Amino acid sequence: MSLKRGRKFLNTPGPTNVPERVLNAMHRPTLDLSDPEFLDVSISCFRDMRRVILTEGEVFLYASNGHGVWEAALANLFSPGDRLLVPESGNFSAAWQDMATALGLEVQTVPGDWRRPARPEAIEAALRQDAGGIIKGILLVHADTATSSLCDVAGVRGAIDAAGHDALLLVDTIAALGTTEYRMDEWGVDVTVAASQKGLMMAPGIGIIAASEKALRAHERAALPRRYWDWRTRLEAEHYRKFCGTAPQLMVFGLREALDMIFEEGLETIFERHRVLAGATHAAVEVWSQAGTMSLNIEDPRERSPGVTTVLTADGIDANRMRAVCRDEMMAALGGGLGKLDGRAIRIAHMGDLNAPMLFGALAAVETTCGYLDIPFASGGVSAAIDHVTRAKKEASAPVTY
């Protein structure tokens, strides 16, 4: 028996659903490299990314994914042998750290336990021990998509200031931007790294960097080899240079449409929608968990990412099979466990272009998959998610009376 018809549900923490409007904006002919129509749209994207990141800093757009802008940030800021501090938050802090090592940088980890975000106190302690100022940069992951933790970036800034340390603060907000508050300038972030395919509702393919003045000064001294990623040529006036060659034109048109949609909805409304959908997901998982076969990875609700929920599965449950059946039989794609959580977790994403019925559908697919695979779970998770959304709607507005 097959139930495979209709749309595939995409509940992975990147890529996320791309709205029809954005798809349509990309479905158009390519243009001459210097066609004014393209230049206007492209320049507006550089300008308006600042309104999402909340910075007056310099914005760079790359034809790349998140890994590309990880490398771009490192190559533009540091010199061989420079030491970086990496607060461990999960698989993504580990992977950024690996990249730094591969580029010839030295790395000092602040150990973490994957059940909580990086802690400002631990970062402050590490910085206080570095009286000589050997540490040149801190690589911080805002929402670690592997563990679904959310880091208190402003708190980390406070910790750096309390330690009186001069290191650059680099923040990977790839999975958080467009799902939760982010204030680059107010929080004293020096470099923001983001990508198009998560909270920003665009297709994969555009990497985004914003750099503060302090970062641009550090860039002048940085000696790691770079060419494609180099900010210097990208800062030249000729637009062609801003992409180090031909721009990914159609993606830029898509990004423009996604930005329009973000401003139409409004950042605050977007963040609130993510909070409600995340809360509904937590409510569902808490019910299912009563049978003892699964649990929320991040225990403190204040430390949970609003864009994705990592669910740990108990010993004896094959999380990868759960995920494969959910995708291949139910047509709902979830994320899998990463790094040391491989086979031991599923990740339910609720970020980007998503509404409550889309989430309910995905949660119902998980519940159906558990039943089908005879994985014990307490039923009623989907109802709990519905109740959560209902309550949030009622609290937010005067109730409708019939």
Ligand X SMILES: *Cc1c(COP(=O)(O)O)cnc(C)c1O
- Our CB check for ligand X shows the closer of 112 and 381 to be 112
Residue 204: which of 67, 96, 307 has the closest Cα?
Answer: 67
CB of 115 to ligand X, least distance (A): 17
- Our CB check for ligand X shows the closer of 170 and 384 to be 170
CB of 17 to ligand X, least distance (A): 15
Binders of ligand X among residues 194 to 213 (CB under 6 A) are 195
Contacts of 54 (CB under 8 A, 6+ apart): 182, 183, 184, 185, 186
Using CB under 6 A as the binding rule, whether residue 172 contacts ligand X is answered as: yes
CB of 364 to ligand X, least distance (A): 25
Q: What is the dihedral of CA 113, 115, 118, 124, to 10 degrees?
A: -60
Using CB under 6 A as the binding rule, whether residue 67 contacts ligand X is answered as: yes
Return the residue matching tokens 């779970």: 377
Using CB under 6 A as the binding rule, whether residue 306 contacts ligand X is answered as: no
Residue 240: which of 25, 63, 6 has the closest Cα?
Answer: 63
Among 145, 212, 297, 309, binds ligand X (CB under 6 A): 145
Query: Side chain identity at 307, as an amino acid letter?
Result: G
CB of 175 to ligand X, least distance (A): 3
Using CB under 6 A as the binding rule, whether residue 14 contacts ligand X is answered as: yes
- Our CB check for ligand X shows the closer of 105 and 146 to be 146
Region near ligand X per CB under 6 A, out of 78-86, 156-164, 167-175, 286-294: 167-175
- Our CB check for ligand X shows the closer of 195 and 222 to be 195
Using CB under 6 A as the binding rule, whether residue 281 contacts ligand X is answered as: no
- The CA-CA-CA angle for residues 143, 192, 98, to 5°, reads 65
Q: Checking DSSP bridges between strand 191-195 and strand 83-87, what pairing results, if any?
A: unpaired
DSSP code for 201: -
- The CA-CA-CA angle for residues 104, 109, 115, to 5°, reads 135
With contact defined as beta carbons under 8 Å apart, do 293 and 340 qualify?
no
CB of 66 to ligand X, least distance (A): 2
Residues touching ligand X: how many (CB under 6 A)? 12
Return the residue matching tokens 């998980």: 366
With contact defined as beta carbons under 8 Å apart, do 90 and 143 qualify?
no
Among 61, 74, 127, 141, binds ligand X (CB under 6 A): 141
Calpha distance 103→98 (Å, rounded): 9
Calpha distance 211→189 (Å, rounded): 8
Region near ligand X per CB under 6 A, out of 106-114, 141-149, 243-251, 391-399: 141-149
Contacts of 186 (CB under 8 A, 6+ apart): 54, 154
Calpha distance 373→175 (Å, rounded): 30
CB of 368 to ligand X, least distance (A): 27
CB of 258 to ligand X, least distance (A): 15
CB 34: neighbour CB atoms within 10 A?
Answer: 10
Q: Checking DSSP bridges between strand 345-349 and strand 308-313, what pairing results, if any?
A: antiparallel
Using CB under 6 A as the binding rule, whether residue 178 contacts ligand X is answered as: no
Interface map 92-131 toward ligand X (x if CB under 6 A): x---------------------------------------
Calpha distance 184→275 (Å, rounded): 21
Region near ligand X per CB under 6 A, out of 126-134, 169-177, 242-250, 319-327: 169-177
Among 53, 94, 174, 330, binds ligand X (CB under 6 A): 174
CB of 351 to ligand X, least distance (A): 10
Using CB under 6 A as the binding rule, whether residue 65 contacts ligand X is answered as: yes
Residue 142: which of 102, 194, 197 has the closest Cα?
Answer: 194
Using CB under 6 A as the binding rule, whether residue 284 contacts ligand X is answered as: no
CB of 196 to ligand X, least distance (A): 9
Among 171, 175, 298, 332, binds ligand X (CB under 6 A): 175
Q: State the residues that interact with ligand X by CB under 6 A.
A: 14, 65-67, 92, 141, 144-145, 172, 174-175, 195
